[in-house]
Amino acid sequence: NPYHLTMHLEKSLAPGGSSSLTTPKSMKILLWNFREANDPDFRRNLRFLLDWNNPSLLCLTEIRMEDHSSLLQDFNFTDMVQAAARGYSGGIVIVWRADELIVDPFVITTQEIHTNVQVN
């Protein structure tokens, strides 16, 4: 039923909103391919997206950073796994809140991160 799905989409797009299509153990994942995390607008725009969506896990790709540690404190995440950028290309980071998720990375290369994710 398209109307039914549209209703859930509208709810999920509301600030802090979630669709009622959830299970007792659910999570929100935000993935953003943002080139150049050193851009002045990056942190402001990321803060807006995080406040709007309230994800349990955030994955950023192509952010061209060697170290992503500042993202933990700046955006209230507790844990991370990262693949540093090489020069002016690449860079992947996954950050999450350990009280909400268990993330077990099993493959990390410069081009990919594979993890198992479980809801606490």
pLDDT at 4 exceeding the cut of 70 = no
| The CATH homologous superfamily of the domain defined by 23-119 | Endonuclease/exonuclease/phosphatase (3.60.10.10)
Beta bridge partners of 118: 102
Task: Compute φ and ψ for 18, nearest 5 degrees.
Answer: -140, 145
d(C-alpha 56, C-alpha 83), whole Å? 20
User: By mean pLDDT, which of 1-15, 21-35, 104-118 is the weakest?
Assistant: 1-15
pLDDT at 1 exceeding the cut of 50 = no
Q: Where are the domains of the chain?
A: 23-119
d(C-alpha 117, C-alpha 78), whole Å? 15
- CA of residue 6 relative to chain centroid, distance: 24
Look over the chain and give the mean of its residue pLDDT values, rounded to a whole number. 78
User: Which position has the higher pLDDT, 51 or 8?
Assistant: 51
Q: What is the mean pLDDT of residues 21-26?
A: 61
DSSP-H helix ranges across the chain: 2-13, 40-53, 70-74
Alpha carbon of 93 to those of 54, 97, 114: distances in Å? Answer: 17, 14, 11
72 band by pLDDT with thresholds 50, 70 and 90: confident
